[in-house]
């Protein structure tokens, strides 16, 4: 059963991955990629890492949905409704892909894979959390805050309207002058 | 937790959900008719109104399907079909009483992941027909999605934190003495708000709003339309039902058996959500977005913090 599921998911993942480059529509390419990633999530669940697998499904769905919007938005033809191709620089890309594939395949075949030591943990989610978070909680928290601060800083730097636009040159205005009224009483 | 669930439960679950969705839709239709006439109708009228959703389904199924020009039919079909599938898959971890079809160890994350599939579904359904208004509907839902998802996720996480487990069964067990709604009221309210929003329902129905001629599902017809609009009802039922094991003690309650309590509580929450839609007009997107980011998300984090401190001191 597991073997059958593995092959179905693996073949689907590869086929969907290939179709990303065959489709001529950005929406189809994006969701083909999503389908491929969902299959990968299923494969991770099959490995017994339920939590990681489900999180892959969750994150990839949200990410690809948002990606679809941004990719269509930034396409050169209006709304991305015209046929397009995901393939550029075909020869160079083919060479790079071939090399990477050969490298990875060689790695799989040549690496001295270790045999399993000990038993599989009863609760892999718990063990994963402990090994990620346990002694490194402070690192994770700092990292999270740093990433969040980066996002906020980027948005602040990128926005056209600064606080002087909103609150006047002396920052004295009682109400912010926003083009769009907000939801918290402004 | 109870013993293993028999295999037939897998087939009963969708039927049960569809039944619940039809009853809810019938209730909504009766309310709508009552509101239009300003007085409750006779018993017979009420029965006719309550059967309205069923008739609608049949009507759509026999109707000649419409096609738009240069539509991306496969994508629209996938979008419309994915919505009910996501709802049913999310319901797999819903316990009826104390038994669910599959009490996954990561049930809460699973539920959230399946809800997220609905996002993709709505966007696909909006994109597929190659029509402006449905496209706007799809985009609206995605744009709002992040603002809904963050407080939603935090509220769900708070319940998991209170039970110290991602397993829905253990979350229910943890509420044997005290329902989570009592000491996590903020998370409960945020969950209900975002649950409505996830099903683009009630005050959050702009993705399918009248100002864009039905929005995301506007161009769908025939079986696709039944799947899409039915899937939305399913999503609402599932999201409402999930608040019961998360915050309302699941099957716990005196006298009645567990499943009866689950049904009773779910029906109460659903009736409340249906009533809310009748009472509150559609909220403009930008207003709710700011509320979600500036007020609800910090509130949800503070609520999670309070719960974490309580759990650590236990």
Supply the DSSP string of chain B, one letter for each residue: ---PPPTTHHHHHHHHHHHHHHHHHHHHHHHHHHHHHTS---HHHHHHHHTHHHHHHHHHHHSPPP--TT--HHHHHHHHHHHHHHHHHHHTT--BTTB-S---TTHHHHHHHHHHHHHHHHHHHHHTT--HHHHHHHHHHHHHHHHHHHHHHHHHHHHHHHHT-S-HHHHHHTTSSS-HHHH-HHHHHHHHHHHHHHTT-GGG-GGG-GGGTTGGGTT--HHHHHHHHHHHHHHHHHHHHHHHHHHS-TT--SSS-HHHHHHHHHHHHHHHHHHHHHHSPPPPHHHHHHHIIIIIHHHHHHHHHHHHHHHHH-
Reported ipTM exceeds the 0.85 cut: no
Report pLDDT for B1.
Answer: 45
Smallest CA–CA distance from B296 into chain A, residue: A184
Mean pLDDT value across residues B42-62: 80
CB contact under 8 Å between B75 and A183, yes or no, is no
- Residues of B whose CB is below 8 A from A123: 105
pLDDT score of B119: 84
Quick one: closest CA in A to B125, which residue?
A27
Task: Kindly tell me if the per-residue pLDDT of A146 is higher than 90.
Answer: yes
Residue of A25, A34, A65 lying closest to B72 (CB–CB):
A25
Considering only CB atoms, B287 lies closest to which of A25, A123, A182, namely A182
* pLDDT over 80 (residue A63): yes
- Flag whether the pTM goes above 0.90: no
**Residue B92 pLDDT more than 60?**
yes
* Residues B250-281: tens digit of each pLDDT: 778 787 787 888 888 888 999 898 888 888 88
Over residues B171-196, the mean pLDDT reads 86
| pLDDT for residue B83 is more than 60 | yes
* More confident of the two residues B197 and A8: A8
Share of chain B above pLDDT 70, in %: 96
More confident residue, B314 or A149: A149
Among B75, B116, B143, the residue with its CB nearest the CB of A31 is B75
| Inter-chain touch B291–A184, beta carbons under 8 Å | yes
């Amino acid at each position: 059963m597991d073997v059958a599921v593995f092959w179905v998911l693996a073949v689907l993942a590869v086929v969907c991955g290939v179709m990303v480059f065959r489709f001529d529509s950005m929406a189809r390419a994006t969701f083909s990629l999503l389908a491929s990633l969902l299959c990968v999530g299923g494969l991770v669940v099959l490995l017994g890492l339920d939590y990681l697998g489900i999180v892959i499904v969750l994150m990839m769905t949200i990410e690809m949905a948002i990606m679809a919007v941004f990719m269509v938005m930034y396409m050169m033809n209006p709304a991305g409704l015209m046929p397009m191709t995901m393939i550029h620089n075909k020869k160079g890309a083919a060479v790079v892909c071939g090399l990477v594939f050969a490298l990875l395949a060689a790695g799989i075949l040549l690496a001295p894979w270790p045999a399993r030591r000990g038993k599989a943990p009863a609760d892999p989610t718990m063990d994963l959390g402990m090994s990620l978070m346990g002694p490194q909680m402070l690192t994770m928290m700092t990292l999270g805050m740093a990433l969040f601060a980066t996002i906020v800083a980027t948005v602040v730097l990128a926005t056209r309207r600064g606080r002087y636009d909103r609150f006047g040159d002396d920052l004295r205005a009682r109400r912010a002058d926003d083009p769009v009224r907000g939801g918290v009483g402004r | 937790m109870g013993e293993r669930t028999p295999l037939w439960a897998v087939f009963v679950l969708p039927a049960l959900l569809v039944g619940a969705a039809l009853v809810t839709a019938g209730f909504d239709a009766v309310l709508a008719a009552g509101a239009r006439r300003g007085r409750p109708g006779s018993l017979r009228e009420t029965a006719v109104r309550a059967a309205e959703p069923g008739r609608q389904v049949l009507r759509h199924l026999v109707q000649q399907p419409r096609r738009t020009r240069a539509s991306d039919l496969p994508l629209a079909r996938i979008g419309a079909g994915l919505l009910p599938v996501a709802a049913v898959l999310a319901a797999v971890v819903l316990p009826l009483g104390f038994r669910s079809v599959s009490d996954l160890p990561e049930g809460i994350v699973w539920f959230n992941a399946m809800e997220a599939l609905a996002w993709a579904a709505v966007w696909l359904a909006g994109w597929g027909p190659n029509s402006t208004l449905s496209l706007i509907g799809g985009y609206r839902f995605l744009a709002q999605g992040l603002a809904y998802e963050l407080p939603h996720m935090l509220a769900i996480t708070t319940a998991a934190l209170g039970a110290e487990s991602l397993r829905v069964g253990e979350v229910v067990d943890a509420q044997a003495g005290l329902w989570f709604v009592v000491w996590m009221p903020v998370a409960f309210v945020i969950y209900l708000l975002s649950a409505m929003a996830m099903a683009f329902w009630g005050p959050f129905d702009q993705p399918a709003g009248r100002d864009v001629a039905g929005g995301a599902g506007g161009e769908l017809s025939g079986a696709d339309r039944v799947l899409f609009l039915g899937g939305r009802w399913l999503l609402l039922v599932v999201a409402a039902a999930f608040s019961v094991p998360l915050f309302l003690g699941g099957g716990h309650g005196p006298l009645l058996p567990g499943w009866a309590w689950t049904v009773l509580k779910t029906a109460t929450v659903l009736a409340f959500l249906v009533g809310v839609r009748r009472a509150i007009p559609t909220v403009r997107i930008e207003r709710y977005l700011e509320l979600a980011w500036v007020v609800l998300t910090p509130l949800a984090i503070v609520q999670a913090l309070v719960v974490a401190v309580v759990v650590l001191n236990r």
